[in-house]
Structure 1
């Protein structure tokens, strides 16, 4: 019996990826300590701290159950020839290769959504509900998913069709055209998201007149930052979690506060959070991260072009027909180890950016006690979100785009402006 090398590699990647996730989860749980870190004494009540650790245990166990089920179903689907069955169904409609590719991809996405739906329902309405985070209704939950599916069809469908067309007609330069099409799509989404897409899911209102808006305006003028709009978002419609972010470019640029954030932080803490977000903008973190993501995408398309129509790869999945559209799906299995490594690199860069944005906030809000205000805000958000204060370093290295809160606080306390206030 001849062993298919591609199948062996793919199965090994799936199993090793699962074992790595399992090992990291176990290490992360072992890092949980009943001793409250000194920084949070007087901030985290003993009972609430114990509850935060139970939340970490519960979400970790749930994630492992979901990953185990996902692994088993994926392995079974590959072994029984599930991809070939879906391909035969797609071909049965009798359309051309591009339309067939859209149907094939759509059917796989639908199957994936159906498999993940019970886990999403449990996570939202049982796990998050149990710990007091969920405020989503069943109607909102399912309407969100219908909207997301519609957007995927309306926006993602044409992009996928363009990629299939380029690979079918443009020869060795196809990967470059696909890359450029994807870049144009991403840039377009940056403008459409705040003005068109995000309002489909949430309501945005201008921040009310008052001392907070005045403080933000004064700070923005001091930093020579042209405000295009300060908004609040009804995050409480789905969760009690709090956040703030910048979105869009040019005249579509918005500063957005979750309404839950306004309820939980004092005015100087909100200003410090905004200064942190502004730091990302002023330090050009957003375009730099986008450039890195675009370069990663270009690498992916280039490598993908070398595996289109690979007979051994299609034999690994038991396919009767070779196609460009199936190549895109199968390549994802081959690319996952490199994607993991590149993702680790992006996370390292992102954590560096978080430290720099923290420093920007502390140094530009010295008069307002920016460093202490940001520390105070981080502590309140950690308590509110039941954050894990002591994640394992390997978990942080592999998975975290933000440094642990204790590491951020330690870095802030070493800054000169903060030290001069203390």
Structure 2
């Protein structure tokens, strides 16, 4: 059945409204959930003052998110109702001759306009809220440098991929989707291989972990679990935030372990090895590979569904265009795909939470559960995380289980 532009318009507008209402309700439920007293299990790293500070941090972030979300909702409603995407499409058609040029200009203008609109919100979040709670270490100069680098990187990578997509659509018609899927798959795998070598150094400095007790402990653990470790780096995360993290990148001999300098400052050697053991657990349990396969599969599904809609003139007209516009249809499809994306996201988060439990169990069985528990407590306290989030909020948004559930699971695995 071929839908009319009015029917497409109604569907698009309904999805935008329903998504906003549901998101707002879930955020409100999470905000209003009674947190109660500080759990006994955390009194060794939290005091009452720190706990109250964490609750206030969650409230400030949630209220700010509700305000920024309402603003974004009003902007997109105005754009859809008044057909501004169609007006922009006519503008780029007048100033650019080729389809690729028109599409790049269309999304370039949208990207810049969206980012400029959101800069005040990003600035407030970073230099007001994060500053208030002692997290922000970034300077205005760093903020603007990151912006400029982000623009250049987006223009380069996004421009290349978008150009390939438009070219394939123009010359191959509906069968474009599986060829571009292969292109995206290669890009996703390549990005994982070379992220720490090519992308990350643009924003941060990576230095090899110096010789010493920590490196020796890490190497000994790697030998114990038959996990060759050659590339261990420290990233200068402290130039932007006091929050800590650690991650793996790459496969095979190109595996790299990256530890935030803030993590090294706040954790003992045993706790750091326990965190590393958790990450090794993801690798040993093939979570990295399954996550990559899942991401590629999801991209293929999206491209396949989009192939049935991208050539619809009625879809373009629903957002204000006078004729078929691939650029406008990309936007329209992105909105229509939202319910599917949400469902996939919920399922992916469910799988991710299971993987986190499995990685915790691996670290407990191959190293020290007490050290992992201590490390997780410190990470939670230092980042002022929400100790008692609403179950529905966790179900939809959390890729990691709440701290208290992780601690209990680790205790059972000892």
Quote how far apart the aligned CAs of 1:345 are: 0.7
Query: Which residue of structure 2 aligns with residue 254 of structure 1?
Result: 256
CA contact (8 A) 1:77 1:83 kept: yes
Looking at structure 1, the residues matched to 124 and 18 of structure 2 have their Cα atoms a distance apart, in angstroms, of 27
Query: Which residue of structure 1 aligns with residue 40 of structure 2?
Result: 38
Moved more, 267-276 or 90-99: 90-99
Looking at structure 1, the residues matched to 284 and 130 of structure 2 have their Cα atoms a distance apart, in angstroms, of 35
Looking at structure 1, the residues matched to 257 and 96 of structure 2 have their Cα atoms a distance apart, in angstroms, of 49
Query: Which residue of structure 1 aligns with residue 407 of structure 2?
Result: 409
Moved more, 189-198 or 391-400: 189-198
Structure 2 counterparts to residues 304-343 of structure 1, below 5 A:
304-343=306-345
For residues 125-144 of structure 1, the C-alpha deviation after alignment (integer angstroms, 9 at most, x for no partner) is: 00100111000001111111
For residues 49-70 of structure 1, the C-alpha deviation after alignment (integer angstroms, 9 at most, x for no partner) is: 0010000000000011111000
Q: TM-score, normalised by structure 1?
A: 0.95
Flag as ranges the 4+ runs of structure 1 deviating above 3 A.
none
Moved more, 398-407 or 2-11: 2-11
**Which of 375, 378, 388 is the matching residue for 2:376?**
378
Quote how far apart the aligned CAs of 1:3 are: 8.3
Corresponding position: 1:183 with 2:194: no
What secondary structure is seen at the aligned counterpart in 2 of 1:414? helix
Quote how far apart the aligned CAs of 1:326 are: 2.2
RMSD: 1.3
**Which of 236, 242, 245 is the matching residue for 1:243?**
245
CA contact (8 A) 1:194 1:253 kept: no
Structure 2 counterparts to residues 118-129 of structure 1, below 5 A:
118-129=120-131
CA contact (8 A) 1:194 1:252 kept: no
What secondary structure is seen at the aligned counterpart in 1 of 2:337? helix
Moved more, 207-216 or 249-258: 249-258
Looking at structure 1, the residues matched to 142 and 71 of structure 2 have their Cα atoms a distance apart, in angstroms, of 26
CA contact (8 A) 1:144 1:201 kept: yes
Looking at structure 2, the residues matched to 267 and 83 of structure 1 have their Cα atoms a distance apart, in angstroms, of 54
Quote how far apart the aligned CAs of 1:228 are: 3.0
Quote how far apart the aligned CAs of 1:312 are: 2.4
Are the structure 2 counterparts of residues 153 and 305 from structure 1 closer, same or farther at C-alpha, using a change threshold of 3 Å? same
Corresponding position: 1:158 with 2:160: yes
**Which of 171, 174, 184 is the matching residue for 2:173?**
171
Looking at structure 2, the residues matched to 237 and 98 of structure 1 have their Cα atoms a distance apart, in angstroms, of 39
Q: Show structure 1 runs of 5+ residues with no match.
A: none
Q: TM-score, normalised by structure 2?
A: 0.97
Looking at structure 1, the residues matched to 35 and 108 of structure 2 have their Cα atoms a distance apart, in angstroms, of 45
Looking at structure 1, the residues matched to 230 and 213 of structure 2 have their Cα atoms a distance apart, in angstroms, of 18
Aligned positions, number: 411
